[in-house]
């Protein structure tokens, strides 16, 4: 435990001293991961599948706000989908419009959540997102998370039916557009996942704000169980075809990752909890103070070692004194 706390303090100290350099590097790394993931998953427009274009775009994202990264990722996705089918591009543009209206109406500070939610689905660890949103966010943060869920499942439908959608048959463009919209709306899995993630995030948020010991760990445990129950019930009711083993193992892994994030972000020492009471002219206050668990990083001391012996130094200093007397 002490070694982990020391590592935490080293990381915090390094970030505090080099924040102006660390933040652009992290943005650059996130942009690289996102652009390479988009190109590897879709890969319909070969012009965008270039290391030079990806590096230049990631470099621009490193010095711009996260909203610019969201905009570039949306352009990458739309360009790839347009290369596959015009009807799919129109549907994706309508989804963008819906996300923009909902997102700007309820939340404008969830760019990172909107970017990470589809990415975690691609990495097969999406169940960590509602736990992390509940631990470190607010109820409004569920809006970009749900928007990310909708965006992922729209892209998942397009990539799963790319052969059918890419064919230019005798059907009219309007008919192909209706087929795409019907296929996306008939997917009940997206509704179940969106509801499960939203309920889990709000539940974790409410529990972690309670004045009880280990509230955040309890919130992660309850949220993990609630997510599993809602997904399995939704599978039974709507026949969403979830993998039971995948849901359980993914939720357990998400809970473990959330606890690790909690340790590095907000770790409390409940053994030293204090209750303070004071009053003013209008109210009487009961305050529960829980100190954060931290250790001091050891200071480096440089010790100079003189290889000369003490009597040699004394002789030299004595000789110097005699020389001065002669002069």
What's the domain count of the chain? Answer: 2
Is residue 191 domain-resident?
yes
Claim to verify: residue 55 and residue 16 sit in the same structural domain: yes
Claim to verify: residue 57 and residue 191 sit in the same structural domain: no
Burial zone of 107 (CB within 10 Å; 0-12 exposed, 13-18 middle, 19+ buried): buried
Claim to verify: residue 52 and residue 94 sit in the same structural domain: no
- Residue 287 and residue 277 in contact, taking contact as beta carbons nearer than 8 Å: yes
Residues 261-304: tens digit of each pLDDT: 888 776 655 556 677 777 777 777 777 666 666 656 555 555 56
Is residue 319 domain-resident?
no
In sign, the C-alpha dihedral spanning 259, 263, 265, 268 is: positive
Is residue 301 domain-resident?
no
- Given a cut of 60, whether residue 321 has pLDDT beyond it is no
Per the prediction, the chain carries an average pLDDT of 83
Measured CA to CA, the distance from residue 127 to residue 141 in angstroms comes to 15
Global pTM reads: 0.81
* pLDDT score for 73: 95
Burial zone of 277 (CB within 10 Å; 0-12 exposed, 13-18 middle, 19+ buried): exposed
Claim to verify: residue 65 and residue 187 sit in the same structural domain: no
- 243 φψ region: left (φ > 0), alpha (ψ -120 to 50), beta (else): beta
Claim to verify: residue 187 and residue 132 sit in the same structural domain: yes
Measured CA to CA, the distance from residue 149 to residue 151 in angstroms comes to 5
Residue finishing a domain among 225, 246, 267: 267
Q: Find the mean pLDDT for residues 29-44.
A: 93
Name the maximum alpha-carbon separation found in the chain: 115
Residue finishing a domain among 23, 54, 82: 82
Domain membership of residue 252 as a residue range = 85-267
Q: Give the least confident one: 74-88, 110-124, 146-160, 310-324.
A: 310-324
Specify the higher pLDDT residue, 304 or 313.
304
Q: Give the least confident one: 46-55, 63-72, 280-289.
A: 280-289
Residue finishing a domain among 234, 267, 300: 267
């Amino acid at each position: 435990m002490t070694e982990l706390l020391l590592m935490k303090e080293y990381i915090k100290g390094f970030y505090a001293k080099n924040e102006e350099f660390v933040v652009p590097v992290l943005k650059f790394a996130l942009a690289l991961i996102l652009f390479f993931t988009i190109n590897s998953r879709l890969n319909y427009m070969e012009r965008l599948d270039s290391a030079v274009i990806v590096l230049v775009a990631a470099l621009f994202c490193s010095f711009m706000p996260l909203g610019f990264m969201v905009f570039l990722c949306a352009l990458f996705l739309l360009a790839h989908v347009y290369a596959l089918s015009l009807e799919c591009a129109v549907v994706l543009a309508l989804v963008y419009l819906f996300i923009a209206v909902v997102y700007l109406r309820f939340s404008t500070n969830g760019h990172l959540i909107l970017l990470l939610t589809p990415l975690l689905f691609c990495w097969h660890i999406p169940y960590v997102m509602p736990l992390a949103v509940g631990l470190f966010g607010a109820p409004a943060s569920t809006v970009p998370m749900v928007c990310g869920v909708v965006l992922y499942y729209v892209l998942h439908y397009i990539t799963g039916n790319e052969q059918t959608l890419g064919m230019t048959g005798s059907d009219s463009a309007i008919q192909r557009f209706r087929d795409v919209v019907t296929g996306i709306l008939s997917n009940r899995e997206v509704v179940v996942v969106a509801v499960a993630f939203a309920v889990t995030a709000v539940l974790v948020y409410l529990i972690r704000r309670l004045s009880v010991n280990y509230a955040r760990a309890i919130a992660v445990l309850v949220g993990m169980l609630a997510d599993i129950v809602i997904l399995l019930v939704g599978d039974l009711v709507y026949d969403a075809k979830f993998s039971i083993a995948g849901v359980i193992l993914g939720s357990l892994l998400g809970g473990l990752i959330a606890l690790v994030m909690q340790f590095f972000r907000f770790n409390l020492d409940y053994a030293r909890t204090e209750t303070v009471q004071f009053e003013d002219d209008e109210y009487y206050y009961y305050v529960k103070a829980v100190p954060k668990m931290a250790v001091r990083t050891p200071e480096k001391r440089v010790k100079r070692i003189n290889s000369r012996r003490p009597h040699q130094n004394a002789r030299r200093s004595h000789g110097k004194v005699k020389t001065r007397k002669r002069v």
